[in-house]
Chain A
Amino acid sequence: MRAFWDNLRLALGTFLGNPLRSLLTLVGIVIGVATVITMMALIEGLSIKVNRDLGGLGAHTFEVTKWPSGFGRFNWAKYAKRKDLRMEEVRAIQEGCPSVLAATPMDDQGGQKVATSARETRPSVRVVGTEPSYPLTSGVSVASGRFFNETEALDGRPVVVLGLDVADALFPGLDPLGYEVRIQGRPFLVIGVLQKRGSFMGMMSLDNQVSLPMKVFQQLYGKNRSLDIDIQARDGQVFQKAQDEVTHLLRRRRDLTPRDANDFEIHTNESMTASFNQLSKVIALAGVGVCLLSLVVGGIGILNIMLVSVTERTREIGIRKALGAKRRRILGQFATEAILLSLIGGTLGVALGFGLTFLGQWVLLFPMQVPAWAVMLSLVMSCGVGLVFGIYPAARAAKLDPVEAMRSE
């Protein structure tokens, strides 16, 4: 134990004696660990997003969209050619599919400001255009006031239902019902506040949104956008049947031949989970690859600096051995140094990983969260790299002949 503290003190001394060289050596490990942290944060964040999306669908509800799963829009060009989903198709589904209880169109615009005469939100509010069946298909209920009704939807009345975050931001300590808010400069009457849906670590909050009648939404943001359609089956038994009916109807309306693939996507809770799992596997695999590579690079950095260190300090080693240091002690001294070095690298990597995650959250608005176990794993891994790549130089030091070593300059 005493030997351990002595070794640690020596190792720290060496590090502080040449911090710049040590830090440069650590670049590989820093990058490796930062990669692990960021990748894990991404996967963790995606799984939170999936949970939220799953939470966004009500009972026996599925979603029809133009784009494949919401976790990244790969093969953009292929999907871009697809026809948009429009209100006509929503109406057709509502009328032509007997197993469908409700079909709710949704469109949204992120990064919006909502203001009262006194206050203003940050430009991060998601404005959702939808119809009165929204609470039903999204499985969310109204906490106070009410959702807008058919008449308001049909007429395109300027009414709005606030998410809890927006209500709190604009009307702290007040009941917002009956007040007026402005979106894109237009006045809206607050008629309801949605129940709290949960926020994931205070970012990408589900409550940081407002809902308007689709007609008004389209006046504000335009009509030429593809809608998402949330469709609720009459009950669990006809869930699959409802999907078949909708698929048929859309294929017929779009004149697809039996050979053509669907030119729209159907998501269920299961399909989203599956596509998420697949994606997270890809990310994890890429992450593992990048990370192993940079850990090997980092390890070679450690190997190199330790070999240099042993050579430079041959005389010191000779003196220590001459005065009674056993092989194990010298081995321990240099192994401790290698491990400390890579642990410092690991810690810096974790810090950088948190930094990148922070950037991802606030600049790219990507949902990310660093899981605690990833931090542990990274630190353990760095120790491992230090040990594996530090042991050879340390063994070399331990085996030096004291007489020869003391003669070296």
Chain B
Amino acid sequence: MSEASGTRQSALIQVEQLTRVFFVGGEEVRALRGISFGVTRGEWVAIIGQSGSGKSTLMNVLGCLDTPTSGRYLLNGKDVSRMDDDDLAVIRNVEIGFIFQTFQLLPRETALANVELPLVYRGVPARERRERAKAALDKVQLTHRMHHRPNELSGGQRQRVAIARALVSEPSMLLADEPTGNLDSATGEEIVRLFEQLHKAGHTLVLVTHEPKLAARCPRAIRLSDGEVVADGPGREVALGTGAGVAAVTGGA
């Protein structure tokens, strides 16, 4: 705990006692039940857990696509847990690069136009955003496909376009919810390598995966179960269920 409070100042993400309750037909679904952890700049964290354990729900809150029912979420020192729709839109635009399992590209626009989109909503002039979008596509080695539409690209290429789109606005962090979930293993590996490069280049990454092998490659992993953090520690240990990090966290929560 003393270590946690020491990093609090430099923490990029600090969540405290986050809950998220859905109401479905008069019934409460408690998807998150009091989650606390921090992520510092430059970390690469995997979030793992069984289906339905609340990974996507947590990612949506972290990505400011959703707001917690209770608890606090400090992003870059700002409390974003009580912001309204429009303020969150600005946070999403400036601070966050979200990568989705199903890519979420606009089907009628070219790769380049898709990558430009965050800059459009930031009010960047057309020339500049074009240049920056090209540079982002270059980082994912897709400049030769920039005038193609999503349906003219392979799954791996689509995900690389989505990553370029997440990178283009130079956000504080990249969030990816099962980015390889819709890809075959070889293509998935390609994407993971890309993440490794981004991590080396200093990007902060939070990545949901259900593949223990992938989580084991991450410096840190958090395991969720039934809306609670049950393990938080080095990726290899958390992913393979060894290590002592588990007890420490459950005790702390």
Contacts and interface: CB of A to CB of B under 8 A. Distances in A.
A13 B118 contact: no
A323 B165 CA distance: 9
A402 B65 contact: yes
Interface string A374-409: 000000000000000000000000000011001000
Contacts of B225: none
Interface stretch (A21-29, A203-211, A246-254, A313-321): A313-321
B104 A326 contact: no
A105 to B, nearest CB: 74
Given A322-B65, A322-B98, A324-B118, A2 B123 contact: yes
Contacts of A403: 60, 65-66
Contact of B86 (A320, A322, A323, A326): A326
A13 B121 contact: no
Contacts of A6: 120
Contacts of A3: 123
Interface in A318-348: 318-329
B240 interface: no
B209 interface: no
A325 B125 contact: no
A329 B118 CA distance: 13
A409 B60 CA distance: 19
A315 B107 CA distance: 10
A353 B109 CA distance: 37
B121 A329 contact: yes
B147 interface: no
Interface in B92-106: 92-94, 98, 100, 104-106
B60 A324 contact: no
Interface in A22-63: none
A6 B122 CA distance: 12
Contact of B104 (A2, A322, A324, A329): A322
Range for the number of chain A residues in contact with chain B: 20 to 34
Contacts of B89: 321, 324-327
A324 B123 contact: no
A185 interface: no
Contacts of A318: 104
A329 B92 CA distance: 15
B93 A324 contact: yes
A17 interface: yes
Contact of A316 (B66, B85, B93, B106): B106
A403 B177 CA distance: 13
Contacts of A325: 89, 121
Nearest to A402: B65
A406 to B, nearest CB: 6
A112 to B, nearest CB: 62
B58 interface: no
Contact of A323 (B66, B108, B117, B126): B117
A324 B125 contact: no
Contact of A17 (B93, B108, B125): B108
A7 to B, nearest CB: 10
A328 B86 CA distance: 9
A319 B104 contact: yes
A327 B121 CA distance: 11
B92 A324 contact: yes
B133 to A, nearest CB: 13
A279 to B, nearest CB: 53
Interface in B57-82: 60, 63, 65-66
Nearest to A316: B106
Interface in B115-133: 117-118, 120-123, 125-126
B103 to A, nearest CB: 10
A322 B85 contact: no
Interface of A: 2-3, 6, 13, 17, 315-316, 318-329, 402-403, 406
- Of all A-B residue pairs in the complex, the 4 with the closest CB atoms, nearest first, are A324-B93, A324-B121, A326-B86, A326-B89
14 contacts: A2-B123, A6-B120, A318-B104, A320-B106, A320-B117, A323-B121, A323-B165, A324-B90, A324-B93, A324-B94, A324-B122, A325-B89, A328-B86, A406-B104
Interface of B: 60, 63, 65-66, 85-86, 89-90, 92-94, 98, 100, 104-106, 108, 117-118, 120-123, 125-126, 165, 169
